[in-house]
A and B are shown apart, each in its own frame.
Chain A
Amino acid sequence: MQIESRLAQIGSREDPVTGAVSYPIYQATAFRHPRLGQSTGFDYSRTKSPTRAVLEAAAADLESGDAGFACSSGMAALTTIFALFSHGDHLIVSLDLYGGTYRLLEQVLSRYGISASYVDTNDLDGLESHCTDRTKAVLIETPTNPLMMVTDLEKVSAWAKRRRLLTIVDNTLLTPFLQRPLELGADIVIHSATKYLGGHNDVLAGLIVTKGEELSRKIGVLHNSLGAVLGPQDSWLLMRGMKTLALRMERHEANAQRIAEWLYEHPAVEDVYYPGLPHHPGYEIQKRQSSGNTGIFSFRMKDARTVEPILRHLKLISFAESLGGVESLLTYPAVQTHADIPEEIRRKVGVDDRLLRFSVGIEHVDDLIADLGGAIAAALQEIGEG
């Protein structure tokens, strides 16, 4: 069955009692045992909850994995996976990565003797040179956030397999609708489901999907032991959001492509980072391994002085963190999402004070262009360049 159909039908056949097409919200923590030693399959909601279980099965199915796990946030999903590792272990991580992941590695895991190297994951020689006896996994974001660098998943997964490393892919920006890393050789996929999967800027959630029985069992134990699980209300809201994922992604992509092309021609803009533009270095890889492009991109203004007035003059587009919602959001990575990454590393990957990230919503594209165009014009006027 096509993914659009599977998305629309999440949970629709799961309630055998009433036939409810929308799966019930089981707001229960404990489950009665029919007899001692017998269980309905549910004992305690941290371990397994009916509403969460339907979501988890859907996530596993959509990502072509063996098991799914829903967590209280994207960072909770990542924390749960990192608990696979022990003192002395080493990880290889995408150079241009989400600030929260960097903070978790450098401020928390470093205290437990778990170290990380930040590498361009598209460079096999670079990967090879950072790989040691203690290296246990490679964590890839593709495309990266915010500079949209693309990693060849098949190539890197194959390399990781030869080196007996786990390949973990953050698939937040593309979702299984556009890219399925497990089919390309990855072992674990994670999501900040707060973004496109939820899609409405209203649910904080994380998902893990694993391949293989042993790995699925291990993550299951950690998910239960650490306890950073997703509640039933949010599990239900997330499934509700996922039912329209296909439609939303198509519109996000179409809008983003059109606005990226428009900005690329804009005289006040230095560059646009979007794998849907033919000049983007990841254009070909992206086309091969994914069925489309995400709805966010970054662009660099020529003059840093325009940034503040642009944000101030926007009327339709919100100035807020996060991405992947139906509403358009503009983010200033250097002060918002990536503030925790030291300036030196930020500059190295290109997150500077002229860079803006646009999470393009599903509003009418002409309204978005008019709003951003108007704000850029007003900003240029203010700094005396208009």
Chain B
Amino acid sequence: MERSESRFATKLIHFGREIDETTGASSVPIFQASTFHHFDLDEPPVHDYSRSGNPTREALETYIALLEGGARGFAFASGMAAISTAFLLLSAGDHVIVTEDVYGGTYRLLTTVLNRLQIESTFVDMTDFDRVQAALKPNTKAVFMETPSNPTLKITDIGRVAAWAKEHDLLTMLDNTFMTPYRQRPIELGVDLVVHSATKFLGGHSDVLAGLIVTKDESLGRRVKQLQNGLGAVLSAQESWLLIRGMKTLGVRMEASERGAAMLAEWLKAHPGIERVYYPGLADHPGRDIQAKQSSGFGAVVSFDVGSGERARRLLGRVKLPLVAVSLGAVESILSYPAMMSHAAMPREVRHARGITDGLVRYSVGLEDPDDLIRDLAQALDGD
């Protein structure tokens, strides 16, 4: 069922756990407890140990499951902790097909840790469906998508890949960090498991490190639950509460940031000093139609190529408003240099083959006035 925007906006505020049943408090209490008293040996409490279940974390987990339209939600210490846990659904000998320009940390996990556990991966440009199909092997067990991809914002046709994967009994996983459930709900498009670096748009304030998983159904949810408890990479009560607090404003933040991103992308497109602009909302972006079909927006991240590493360095040195930092998806704009930051873990030749050139910068548009951001970029670029 297609949900209208207004109904989603209401869910962001009224998610079922927003009022504490005991006291009526207007915000979920922070249960800073590791263990829980058993009043009766034969009737154990709902929560017995916070790694296995904590009431504050559970409120968050219920919240994200509702927003993504899934059966179960799970919160982790970081996005990578969520991704590590998700990949450990696979076993030695299994093969997974992964979006080519996947986040550098996911790439590192697959190529330096999971490979030693004999989980095999093939990185594929998923904008080309033929290549996805060609990557199928007898031991393929899963597909891991990231769309839009990071940082070149390539768009994968989620429904098409998910339907194909289902035909081949593959588990489909999707990193929905860039769009958030406000703009894109992969489970409604046939995906089995959604992961988030909730550090980004969901938290939205550059203050919480967190990861989330949502599963489409209960049975997959039970398997993730076992791993979450067994591996122990859980999110704490304090951070769970902060994340819930951030998520309440997800809708208004996404709308404002997206408006700014669209203006910035158009302006950059017209700027003579820019070689290339990557933004799915631009008319000439190859994935625009698919994005418009599967998402209700184009996101708040714009990548662009200033032509050389030298020019990128000058730009980063001259901008005054955005933070020059890693990460993205916050109230404050953040300008990153993937080659030396988020994708530093990727070998140079692999990086270049994926379009992550030395001149590429990634602009995560925050809540500042877009005109100020553009003026700032203009002065930084005009110095050249």
Contacts and interface: CB of A to CB of B under 8 A. Distances in A.
Do A and B bind?
yes
Interface stretch (B138-146, B268-276, B319-327): B319-327
A132 interface: no
B207 A29 contact: yes
B77 interface: yes
A104 interface: yes
Contact of A336 (B33, B48, B234, B340): B48
A72 B235 contact: yes
B32 interface: yes
Interface stretch (B37-45, B166-174, B257-265): B37-45
A256 interface: no
Contact of B206 (A29, A35, A237, A329): A29
Interface string B109-139: 1001100111100000000000000000000
A86 B233 contact: no
A227 B84 contact: yes
A176 interface: no
A1 interface: no
Interface stretch (B8-16, B236-244, B278-286, B376-384): B236-244
Contact of B207 (A28, A203, A234, A335): A28
Contacts of A75: 51, 229-232
Contacts of A201: 33-35
A320 B35 contact: yes
A46 interface: yes
A228 B88 contact: no
B232 A319 contact: no
B41 A234 contact: no
Contacts of A322: 34-35, 49
A318 interface: yes
| SS of A interface (majority) | loop
A320 B334 contact: no
B313 to A, nearest CB: 5
B233 A73 contact: yes
A112 B92 contact: yes
A350 interface: no
Given A32-B323, A76-B77, A320-B37, A226 B233 contact: yes
Interface string A101-136: 001100110011110000000000000000000000
Nearest to B78: A227
B81 A226 contact: yes
Interface in A297-334: 308, 311-312, 318-322, 325, 329, 332
Interface residues of B, number: 71
B150 interface: no
Nearest to B316: A36
B79 interface: yes
Nearest to B116: A86
Contacts of B112: 221, 225
B233 A231 contact: no
A28 B78 contact: no
Interface in B312-360: 312-313, 316-317, 323-327, 330, 334, 337, 340-341
A78 B231 CA distance: 8
B362 to A, nearest CB: 13
Contacts of A319: 37-39, 41
Interface string A345-366: 0000000000000000000000
A322 B51 CA distance: 11
Nearest to B210: A231
B164 interface: no
Contact of B38 (A36, A225, A320, A325): A320
A74 interface: yes
Contact of A227 (B80, B117, B203, B337): B80
B29 interface: no
A319 B34 CA distance: 14
B91 interface: yes
Contacts, number: 215
Contacts of B35: 201, 320-322, 325, 329
A107 B199 contact: no
Contact of B231 (A31, A76, A111, A225): A76
A72 B236 CA distance: 7
A373 interface: no
Most buried by A among B34, B38, B112, B317: B34
Given A204-B236, A320-B38, A100 B92 contact: no
Interface stretch (A11-19, A37-45, A208-216): A37-45
B51 A204 contact: yes
Contacts of B230: 75, 100, 103-104, 107-108
B236 A231 contact: yes
A28 B206 contact: yes
Given A73-B233, A234-B238, A33 B325 contact: yes
Interface in B242-259: 242
Nearest to B211: A227
Nearest to B240: A231
A316 B175 CA distance: 48
B74 to A, nearest CB: 13
A320 B38 CA distance: 6
Contact of A87 (B92, B229, B341): B92
B340 A36 contact: yes
Contacts of B235: 72, 231
B208 interface: yes
A227 B233 contact: yes
Contacts of A72: 76-77, 81, 232-236
A139 B48 CA distance: 27
A329 B227 CA distance: 27
Contact of B326 (A43, A325, A329): A43
B226 interface: yes
13 contacts: A28-B206, A30-B325, A32-B324, A71-B232, A73-B234, A79-B232, A204-B34, A228-B84, A228-B231, A231-B238, A231-B239, A234-B239, A321-B49
Interface of A: 27-33, 35-37, 43-46, 49, 71-79, 83, 85-87, 100, 103-104, 107-108, 111-114, 194, 198, 201-204, 206, 221-222, 224-231, 233-234, 237, 308, 311-312, 318-322, 325, 329, 332, 335-336
Given A76-B233, A233-B238, A234-B238, 11 more contacts: A33-B316, A44-B327, A49-B209, A71-B77, A74-B232, A79-B233, A107-B226, A221-B112, A227-B83, A228-B78, A308-B42
| 8 interchain residue pairs of minimum CB distance | A75-B232, A227-B80, A228-B233, A227-B78, A322-B35, A73-B232, A72-B77, A86-B116
Interface of B: 32-42, 48-51, 54, 76-84, 88, 91-92, 105, 108-109, 112-113, 116-119, 199, 203, 206-209, 211, 226-227, 229-236, 238-239, 242, 312-313, 316-317, 323-327, 330, 334, 337, 340-341
